[in-house]
Amino acid sequence: MDHRLLDRLRDLRGSLGADLTSITRMVEDDAPRADVLRDLGERLTDLGAALLRRAEDVNAGVLAKLPEDGWLPEAGVRHRALTLAHNVGPRPLRCGRVYLALCGAACFPFYGRDLSGRTARHERCRRCQDRLFR
């Protein structure tokens, strides 16, 4: 799946030069052509839609590994000291091994999906709470 998308992106890069030449000529000659614009627009729309679908699939895979409510303990060595819990929102931003919370704090899923609710023992970050319910 990712390889097909990568191929499509490479194909687009390969054809954009010719598209740009056509469109530049159109603009310079003040002779707009709907077919050229529509063709490029359709290709960009199709690829954009495929990228968005893939992003949603990847996001669903990420969400499936995190607690359902999106609350994660703050990352760092002091996690046993019951640090704040932060919320990563509906589209978690992963940055290496950590996730960035809505407030910008780095979090780590120490309890995995946390089916036993251990994150509930951590105080919740107010900034995340405010952003979540805004």
Judged by beta carbon, residue 98 or residue 101, the one nearer Zn ion is: 101
Which among 70, 57, 77, 75 is positioned nearest to 114, based on CA atoms?
A: 70
Alpha-carbon torsion (64, 112, 132, 98), positive or negative = negative
Q: How far is the CB of 85 from Zn ion (least distance, A)?
A: 8
Judged by beta carbon, residue 5 or residue 63, the one nearer Zn ion is: 63
Judged by beta carbon, residue 20 or residue 82, the one nearer Zn ion is: 82
What's the gap between Cα 34 and its chain centre?
33
Q: How far is the CB of 76 from Zn ion (least distance, A)?
A: 13
What's the gap between Cα 126 and its chain centre?
24
Query: Phi and psi for 87 in degrees, rounded to 5?
Result: -110, 135
Question: What tokens appear for 25 in the block?
Answer: 């000529």
Q: How far is the CB of 77 from Zn ion (least distance, A)?
A: 18
Q: Is 52 within 8 Å of 30 (Cβ atoms)?
A: no
Instruction: List residues near Zn ion by CB under 5 A.
Output: 86, 101, 103, 105, 125, 127-128
What's the gap between Cα 116 and its chain centre?
28
Q: How far is the CB of 129 from Zn ion (least distance, A)?
A: 8
Judged by beta carbon, residue 53 or residue 78, the one nearer Zn ion is: 78
